[in-house]
Each structure stands twice: as structure tokens, then as C-alpha cells.
Amino acid sequence: MVKLKSILKYFLLLILILLAFIIYNSVYFDIPKENVIAKHAKGASEFIELKDGSLIHVRDEGNKNGSTLVLIHGFNGSLFNFESMNKFLLDDFRIISLDLPAHGLTGPVNSDDYSIDGFIRVINEVLEIKNINKFYLAGHSMGGRVVWDYTIDYPEKVSGLLVIGSAFIANEEEYKEFQSENAPPIAFKLLEIPFFRQMLGYITPRFIVTQAAYQTVYNQNIITEELIDQFHEIILLEGSREAIGNLIVNNEKDFITNPKLLQNIKIPTLILHGEQDNLVDVRFNKHFLENIPNISLILYPEVGHMPPMEIPEILAEDIKNFIVN
């Protein structure tokens, strides 16, 4: 009996040591914004100041005499997601890309508004500052949700709409189905508890970022250590994790919408989607295809959730053909 107690004591001690090791390797403190910017803001990167004093990370590059293409990234993404694709478009088009509030090198904003409407206001203000009044608009993943809504609000500004790897969710049942495939519902429930939301601000293990990166693509070979470091460091930008937590908790209603709204989109629209997208299944395009009158669909075999990174040249060519034709 004494021997059993001794074994149990050492076993519990081992478990505690293991837990301490896991926690130690999972805790990452915020990195000062200026440090992340110094490392990753390169090339055409600039920071545009909004009326509320917030600084938005923007790139304005390419052919200033060509048609303008505005690119909007997805949830937990950044304008860096388009880098590989952009180099095939810069000779022909003026490319505007930006990091949405709570994302990329923009990080948290003074308004604390991380809603779809808040994103639209930021995009509109940036484009007004740039004096851009007519453009093609493309959105990836959550960015697709932003751009079709923007198009309904400002139809006179958008010449053509491109939606890449995005979902349209019409009701609670579809939302639960989508959520069950993309994140365990318990994760969202935990974020409603202030303690766990605060923990999100410290515990972001690199191995989870690595796993998420591999999950988004079909061709695993494109995920490099350098890419994972970039993803992880940008997530750790001062205040961004708290802002992302606020986005998830306070703006859940933004992702359920009446599909009849899509009938207001009269401009040419192109859906681009990877057939092996295991985050946003192809079937979630249904409402786009049923409600937007002037719409086309291109599916890519052996491509996952990140076509701009997985097939940059092919995707760029399809975008170019859509704009030119």
C-alpha cells in the first residue's frame, strides 16, 4: 500500500511537471508593435492614419495607369497572404491591399470596432484618402463576407466582385454546421468567459499556429518555418489577440445574413474556390450562385483554403481574365 502511494505521488508529480512544461512553452507575451513592424513592414508598406488616429497597414503598388484591384484578407490573415499572387498582377493593375483592424500590422484600433460594418468604414476611409473611387474588389475567406457587403453599400464604386474561398451563411443551422467544421463550438463558448478570453492574450503556442497553417492548404510543402514565424509573430503583435477575441465574441451575428441581399449585386461576380478547402466547403457557395444574377464559378482541384498562396500564378491569371474581359 505504501509503495502504491509512493508510485502515485511520483506519477502526479510527473504530471504536474509535464503541465508546467506545456504551459511554459505555450505562454507568449505581446511583442511591441514597433518591433513587429520593423521586421515585417517592407517594400510598399505604409501606414495611413484614420480620422480616429488609428494607423492602417496598406500597400499601394503596381501599375498606376491600370485598373485598380482592392484585396481584402480573411480572419486571422493579413495582406501578406496575397504577396505570392500579387507579383503576377503588378504589371497590369494597381493593387491596393490592407490589414483589417485586429489583423496583420494594423492590430487593434482606437474605435475597438471589429464588426463587418467597422471593416467597411475603414476600407472606405483608406480608399477616400487614396482618392480611389472606382475599382475591382476581391475578398478571401472572411474578406469575402466583407467585400460583398461593401458592394451592396457602394455599388457605384465597384466594377467587379471576386470572392475567394468564402462562405455565405443564411441561418443558425448553417452557422452551426460551418462552425463544427472550422472550430469546436466549445472554443467559442470559452471565449465568452472573461478568464479564458484573458488567457487567449498569453497562450498562443507556436505548434497550434503551425497546425493551423498546415490545415489551410492542400500542398503542405508551401508551409515553411519562415512563414510560420511570420504568422506567429504577427499574431503576437501588441493587443491583437485581445482584439481578435473581441471580434469573435461580439460580432458572431455578422456571419448570419439573409441571402436575398445578394440579389442587389448586379455587377459581374466571380467565385474562386479550392475543391479541397477543408475550412470552407464548396457547398457554402450555394447562396452566392442562387442569388447573384451575373456570377461565374471556378473550382481548383487539389487546392485548399489558400489559393492566393497555393496557386498564385493560376489565380492571378483568372483574376486578370475576369477584369480584362
Residue whose grid cell is 474578406: 143
Q: Give the domain extent around 57.
A: 33-324
319 contacts 92 by C-beta, under 8 angstroms: no
206 confidence band (pLDDT: 50, 70, 90): confident
178 contacts 169 by C-beta, under 8 angstroms: yes
Spatial neighbors of 47 by CB under 8 A, at least 6 apart, are 41, 55, 56, 57, 58, 105
Q: Please state, for a pLDDT cut of 90, what percent of the chain lies above it.
A: 72
Domain count, the chain: 1
196 confidence band (pLDDT: 50, 70, 90): low
Per-residue model confidence (pLDDT) at position 160: 98
Work out the average pLDDT over 175-191: 64
Residue 80 confidence (pLDDT) above 60: yes
236 contacts 28 by C-beta, under 8 angstroms: yes
Number of Cβ atoms within 10 Å of the Cβ of 118: 20
Q: Which residues does residue 45 pair with via DSSP β-bridges, in sequence order? A: 59
In a domain, 175, yes or no: yes
In a domain, 209, yes or no: yes
- Angle formed by the axes of helices 225-235 and 240-250, to 10°? 70
In a domain, 197, yes or no: yes
Please give the Cα distance from 243 to 145 (Å, whole number): 19
203 confidence band (pLDDT: 50, 70, 90): low
Q: How far apart are the first and last CA of the chain?
A: 82
Work out the average pLDDT over 317-324: 97
Please give the Cα distance from 187 to 118 (Å, whole number): 24
Per-residue model confidence (pLDDT) at position 185: 47
124 contacts 253 by C-beta, under 8 angstroms: no
Residue 195 confidence (pLDDT) above 50: yes
Pairing of strands 94-98, 55-62: antiparallel
Q: What is the three-state SS of 182-235? A: HCCHHHHHHHCCHHHHHHHCCECCHHHHHHHHHHHCCCHHHCCHHHHHHHHHHH
279 contacts 213 by C-beta, under 8 angstroms: no
In a domain, 127, yes or no: yes
In a domain, 2, yes or no: no
Instruction: Phi first, then psi: give them for residue 72, nearest 5 degrees.
Output: -120, 125
207 confidence band (pLDDT: 50, 70, 90): confident
Q: What does the DSSP assignment read for 291-308?
A: H-SSEEEEEETT--S-HH
Residue whose grid cell is 496598406: 58
Cell of 93: 493593375
Work out the mean pLDDT of the chain and round it to a whole number. Answer: 88
Of 225, 245, 227, which Cα lies nearest the Cα of 80? 227
2 confidence band (pLDDT: 50, 70, 90): low
0.75 exceeded by pTM: yes
Q: What does the DSSP assignment read for 261-294?
A: GGGG--S-EEEEEETT-SSS-GGGGHHHHHH-SS
Q: What is the CATH number of the domain that holds 112?
A: 3.40.50.1820
Per-residue model confidence (pLDDT) at position 24: 40
In a domain, 8, yes or no: no
CA 191 centroid distance within chain = 19
pLDDT in tens, 95-146: 999 999 999 999 999 999 999 999 999 999 999 999 999 999 999 999 999 9
Work out the average pLDDT over 188-212: 65
pLDDT in tens, 30-73: 899 999 999 999 999 999 999 999 999 999 999 999 999 999 99
In a domain, 10, yes or no: no
Q: Which helix (H) or strand (E) holds 137?
A: strand 135-140
SS3 153: helix
pLDDT in tens, 213-272: 898 999 999 999 999 999 999 999 999 988 998 888 777 778 899 999 999 999 999 999
In a domain, 54, yes or no: yes
Per-residue model confidence (pLDDT) at position 19: 42
Higher-confidence residue of 160 and 193: namely 160
Cell of 7: 508510485
